[in-house]
Amino acid sequence: MTLKTGRGRGHGKLILCGEHAVVYGHPAIAFAVDRCTRVTAHPQPGPLDVVCELDNPGLRMATAQIFGDQGWRVEIDTDVPLGRGMGSSAALAVALAEAHAHATSGDTSHPALMDAAMPVERHFHGNPSGLDVAVALHRKPMRFLRGPPMAWTPLRPCPWPLVVLDSQIQGHTRELVDHVQAQRPIVDPILNAIGELVDKVASALDNPEIVGPLVSENHRLLQALGVSTPELDHLVDLSLRHGALGAKLAGAGGGGVVFALMRTHADARALCDVANEAGVVAWTCQAL
Ligand code: MEV
C-alpha cells in the first residue's frame, strides 16, 4: 500500500425535525452547517500521534479506530462544539475516514466513507440512526430514513437565518437514546407524532412562517419524550420572545444547543445580542 499525506473533512449539522423518532424508522430532516472538522494525516514511524487543541479521550479513541495505533501523525482541527447535538462525533468520524482513504489511496466514494465512519459513530453512541454521518458526509439538506436500506433525499437549501444558543451543558447521546428506548412502547405515539410532523415540514420547506411553528411543536414533543431540560426550554422561550419563528433543541437533548429560525439576518443579530447580554453563548449560523 502506498502511503501519503491525506486530508478529510466532516461537517456539523442541525436536525430541523425528527431526532429520536428517526432511530425507530421515522423520517428526519437535517442540514449541514458552516462548521466542520478537518483532519490531516501524515504517515510517520512510531506510535499513533494525535494532535488537537482539544484534550478529549474520544478523539484519540476514534482516531485509533480508523488509523490503528502505529504509523501516523493525525492533526485534528474543529469548530464543531463537542457534545452539543451538532454532530461533532459524526463530523470527526467522516473526516478521519476520508483522510485515511486519501492517505492510503483507498475508496473515497460516499458509500465507502459511510461504511468506514459508521463503526466510529456506533462506538460513540451505541445505536445511531446514521443521520449525523450522512449529513456530515453529503453536506446537503436531506430527508433521511434509517431503513434498511438507509435512504436519503436531498432537499432544496434552507437559506433561513439561524441562531444557535448554547446551554453550555454536554448532552450524552447514548444515554438519551437509551432513555427513550426504555420508555417504549409508551412513548410510541409521541414518536409517531414526530414522524408526521416531519412530513408536514417537508411539504412546507418554502415557507418559514409555516416551518417555524412546526419546529417549536417538535420541541414540545421532545419535551414530552423527556429529553429536554429547563435550560433548553429557557433558551427556546428566550428565542420565541425575541423574534424567532420557531425554536427547538437540536440533537439528542439533555443539554447541547437550541437553534432558532429567524425571518431576517437583522432579527438573527438582534436575538444574538439579547442572548449575549443575558450571558448566553449564541451565534448566527448558516445552513449549507
Ligand atoms: C442525534 O444527533 C440524533 C438522534 O436521533 C440519534 C440518532 O439519530 O442517531 C437522537
pLDDT at 1 exceeding the cut of 80: no
State whether the beta carbon of 251 lies less than 6 angstroms from ligand 1: yes
State whether the beta carbon of 131 lies less than 6 angstroms from ligand 1: yes
pLDDT at 228 exceeding the cut of 90: yes
Average pLDDT of the segment spanning 6-10:
98
Whether residue 129 contacts residue 118, with contact meaning beta carbons closer than 8 Å, is answered with no
pTM beyond 0.75: yes
Closest CA to 288 of 12, 34, 108, 21: 34
Ligand 1 atom nearest residue 250's Cα: 2
Ligand 1 atom nearest residue 121's Cα: 9
pLDDT, averaged across the chain:
96
Average pLDDT of the segment spanning 149-178:
94
Identify the band that residue 21 occupies on the pLDDT scale cut at 50, 70 and 90: very high
Average pLDDT of the segment spanning 102-131:
95
Q: So which residues are the catalytic ones? A: 132
State whether the beta carbon of 11 lies less than 6 angstroms from ligand 1: no
- Counting beta carbons within 10 angstroms of the beta carbon of residue 1, is it exposed (0 to 12), middle (13 to 18) or buried (19 or more)? exposed
- Closest C-alpha residue for ligand 1 atom 2: 251
Average pLDDT of the segment spanning 141-159:
93
Identify the band that residue 2 occupies on the pLDDT scale cut at 50, 70 and 90: confident
State whether the beta carbon of 227 lies less than 6 angstroms from ligand 1: no
| Percentage of residues of the chain with pLDDT beyond 70 | 100
Cα(5) to ligand 1 centroid in Å equals: 32
Ligand 1 atom nearest residue 227's Cα: 10
pLDDT at 157 exceeding the cut of 90: no
pLDDT at 288 exceeding the cut of 80: yes
Cα(285) to ligand 1 centroid in Å equals: 20
Angstrom distance (rounded) from CA 121 to CA 100: 16
Grouping H, G, I as helix, E, B as strand and the rest as coil, residue 12 is: strand
